[in-house]
């Protein structure tokens, strides 16, 4: 036997993956091998059949390709998921799941025409063929989870530790008991309900999930990348010597009108300085009365 230990370099250990998924990844890389078993530290030990298989595994940058989930729409209900998987197994499809929903008239789950496909390859095809039908492939971006008890994104009501809040006004009762005249979001305080897609909190979580799915990041890393993209770093203040000297103005100001704000205000004829001070004390205005012609010495 030729044992080879495969170490994990991501947050997820190799033994945490499905054994069938690891087996398929190994067979795509090296073909048939002797045995594979997990170790306590999260790594895997693979017993290769030849030296060439060991060299092939050593040259592989990674064993497990990140699985990508896509969706196809308008799939007839009479096509089972087993038939879809059998048709698309050669295209790198790992699993098939049909979307199910509840209607208002019946509490039972019903199958939808939307089907989720999980590809193991990084390069996704533009379309897939089922029989003689062609379906366009679209990358699936999950919608934010919203708790119907606390009305906040990120968890569900069965795992909620918060108190009951109305989704319309934020009160401590159910939304069916709400009698508020105007809605008020309990998350952002806006004039809308908590389940409205125009809520800034909902749009923020949607953008983070999209970044997480497209860039293949963890949720924490996607939050950091989203926050750094929204708020760019503040540039450091440069010293005064770093700024260039501005050129002197070449505009000819010889014909400019002089500023008269500090020119002395002339007194009216026949009015002494003491009389003018009395006028300013009584009226609070010097310019308006000293420049008028009705101020006479005889009037004081």
Residue bearing tokens 């009395």 = 278
Closest CA to 38 of 18, 61, 53, 9: 18
Q: What is the pTM of this model?
A: 0.55
Query: Tens of pLDDT along the chain (300 residues)?
Result: 677 777 766 656 666 676 777 887 788 788 888 888 888 777 888 888 888 888 888 887 777 666 778 899 999 999 999 999 888 887 778 889 999 888 777 778 889 999 999 887 666 788 898 888 899 998 888 889 889 899 988 888 888 888 999 999 999 998 889 988 899 999 998 999 998 999 999 999 999 999 888 887 778 888 988 888 876 555 555 555 655 666 766 666 666 665 555 555 555 555 566 655 555 555 554 444 444 444 444 444
CA distances (Å), origin 278, targets 9, 271, 272, 287, 300: 91, 11, 10, 13, 9
Last residue of a domain, one of 182, 207, 230: 230
Same domain, 202 and 220: yes
> Buried b vs exposed e over 127-161: b needs ≥16 C-beta within 10 Å?
ebebeeeebebeebeeebebbbbbbbbeeeeeeee
Same domain, 38 and 90: no
Distance CA(141)–CA(222), nearest Å, equals 14
Q: Give the domain extent around 43.
A: 2-59
Distance CA(148)–CA(159), nearest Å, equals 11
Using DSSP bridges, classify how beta strands 127-130 and 2-6 pair: parallel, antiparallel or unpaired. Answer: unpaired
Residue bearing tokens 């998350």 = 187
> What is the H or E stretch that residue 221 is in?
helix 219-230
Same domain, 163 and 224: yes
In the three-class reduction of DSSP (H, G, I as helix; E, B as strand; rest coil), residue 227 is classed as: helix
Kindly report the CATH number assigned to the domain that includes residue 102.
3.30.70
Last residue of a domain, one of 230, 261, 290: 230
Asked if 91 and 128 count as a contact pair (C-beta separation under 8 A), the reply is yes
What interhelical angle do 200-215 and 219-230 show, nearest 10?
120
Last residue of a domain, one of 83, 108, 139: 139
Q: Is 299 a member of any domain?
A: no
Q: Is 78 a member of any domain?
A: yes
Same domain, 122 and 181: no
Q: Which residues 6+ apart lie within 8 Å of 24 measured at CB?
A: 94, 120
Q: Is 247 a member of any domain?
A: no
Asked if 152 and 162 count as a contact pair (C-beta separation under 8 A), the reply is yes
Distance CA(93)–CA(120), nearest Å, equals 6
Q: Which residues 6+ apart lie within 8 Å of 182 measured at CB?
A: 191
Q: Is 243 a member of any domain?
A: no
Six-digit token string for 126: 């533009």
Distance CA(97)–CA(75), nearest Å, equals 12
Same domain, 79 and 135: yes
Q: Is 223 a member of any domain?
A: yes
Structural domain count of the chain? 3
Q: Is 82 a member of any domain?
A: yes
Same domain, 55 and 73: no
Q: Is 226 a member of any domain?
A: yes
Q: Is 272 a member of any domain?
A: no
């Amino acid at each position: 036997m030729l044992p080879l230990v495969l170490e994990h370099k991501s947050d997820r250990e190799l033994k945490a993956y499905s054994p069938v998924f690891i087996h398929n990844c190994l067979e795509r890389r090296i073909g048939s091998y002797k045995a594979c078993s997990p170790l306590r530290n999260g790594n895997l030990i693979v017993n290769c059949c030849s030296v060439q298989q060991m060299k092939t595994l050593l040259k592989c940058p990674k064993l497990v390709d990140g699985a990508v989930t896509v969706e196809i729409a308008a799939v007839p209900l009479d096509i089972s998921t087993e038939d879809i998987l059998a048709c698309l197994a050669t295209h790198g499809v790992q699993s098939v799941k049909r979307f199910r929903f509840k209607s208002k008239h019946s509490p039972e789950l019903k199958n939808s025409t939307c089907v989720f496909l999980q590809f193991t390859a990084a390069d996704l095809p533009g379309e897939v063929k089922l029989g003689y039908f062609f379906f366009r492939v679209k990358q699936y971006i999950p919608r934010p989870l919203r708790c119907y008890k606390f009305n906040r994104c990120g968890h569900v009501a069965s795992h909620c530790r918060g108190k009951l809040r109305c989704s319309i006004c934020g009160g401590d009762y159910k939304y069916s008991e709400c009698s508020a005249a105007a809605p008020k979001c309990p998350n952002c305080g806006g004039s809308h309900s908590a389940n409205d897609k125009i809520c800034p909190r909902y749009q923020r979580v949607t953008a983070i999930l999209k970044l997480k799915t497209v860039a293949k990041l963890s949720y924490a890393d996607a939050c950091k990348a989203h926050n750094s993209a929204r708020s760019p770093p503040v540039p450091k203040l440069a010293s005064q010597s770093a700024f260039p000297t501005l050129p002197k103005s070449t505009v000819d100001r010889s014909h400019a009108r002089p500023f008269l704000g500090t020119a002395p205000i002339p007194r009216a004829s026949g009015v002494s300085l003491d009389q003018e001070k009395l006028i300013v004390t009584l009226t609070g205005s010097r310019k308006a009365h000293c420049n008028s012609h009705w101020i006479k010495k005889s009037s004081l």
